[in-house]
Chain A
Amino acid sequence: MTSEPINPGQWRLSFAEQEAAFIIHILAQLGRQYQEDPAKMSPATRAYWAGCISRGAAKDDEELKDAQEILAETRSELRSQRLDLVENWIREYELAESRNPWLVEVTDAERDEFVSMLNDRRLLRALEIGVTETEMDADPVQIPEDFRRHAILEIDFLGHFIMAILGPQIHRP
């Protein structure tokens, strides 16, 4: 997976065949998650999508109540907008003449939305298993339970994709 600037504010992403297939699989999963009925979400996932405007604010703070409602509404719209983007990415893949490599040209804003969606998937997977800091720092192959190991490997792998996509603009501390 590579990312290279082609013009100011424009990037060409290149995915090897297996990488493209993996990304499309992830996007398909993400598409289902973006469509999930909030009533059927786990409390942690529902809280993630509602967002939290303020910690420790008085519950009767009317100003913040309104702000919380607006945040929840914004995040609901965001899910629906990202679902559209997921569908566009999958359609783009299906229409591609070549998938080895699969080349996609994107603007800065499209690239940011794409990495944000991959990051949504990382965060949602982490919520599914209630990941801990210790697990994130550990070697994933040493994690005994299959379900947790798979989730953490996916989170790590998507992290590498994000780093590769943002690569030219990332400073590694």
Chain B
Amino acid sequence: MSQVESMRGARILTPAHRGIERYLGGPGYGVSLIFDEREHTRVPTMAKPEASPDIDVEEKLKEAFARGWSVIVWNDPVNLMEYVVYVFKTVLKMNEADASRHMMEVHQKGKSFVARETKEKAEMIVHRLRGFGLNATMEQD
């Protein structure tokens, strides 16, 4: 195995991530799942083939009420504006326009609310943004 190959597959797994993996049904999760409505419904329906549309609706309602945590990115003097846009696109799956708008908000107002999620998912986003060196925190609404 080459050195480059040996570098592959290095994933950061924390207790919080493992919980999220269990929630999402396997290790192939990504933050994109958070924003993909189809993925929210897929896990319960795959795990329970007998699931009815009523259960889906119930799950969705539960999910919506649980999304009471905001992820905030704070300004700092070192991270480059273009890099911040790249990180928002990569981690939060924002499009270019949204990523640029949030970056400018961080730059001009000192902070930007970049996501509203369940506590577990907000934690995972904070971990990922911090892994890229961004100053991210979370707070309950």
Contact = CB atoms under 8 A, between A and B. Distances in A.
Contacts of B12: 74, 77-78, 81
B131 interface: yes
Q: Interface SS of chain B: helix, strand, loop or mixed?
A: helix
Interface string B109-141: 000000000010001001100111101011110
A105 B127 CA distance: 27
A63 interface: yes
Select the residue from A91, A136, A171 with max chain B CB neighbours within 10 A.
A171
A141 to B, nearest CB: 18
Interface residues on B, range: 35 or more
A70 B77 contact: no
Contact of A112 (B85, B90, B104, B119): B90
Interface in A100-138: 104-107, 109-110, 112-113, 115-116, 119-120, 122-123, 126, 131-133, 135-136
A131 B133 contact: no
A1 interface: no
A36 to B, nearest CB: 17
A123 B78 CA distance: 7
A28 B10 CA distance: 20
B79 interface: yes
Contact of A70 (B7, B100, B123, B132): B123
A162 B81 CA distance: 12
A167 B138 CA distance: 30
B51 to A, nearest CB: 30
B103 A116 contact: no
A65 interface: no
B86 interface: yes
B82 interface: yes
Given A78-B131, A88-B7, A159 B80 contact: yes
A166 B139 contact: no
A52 interface: yes
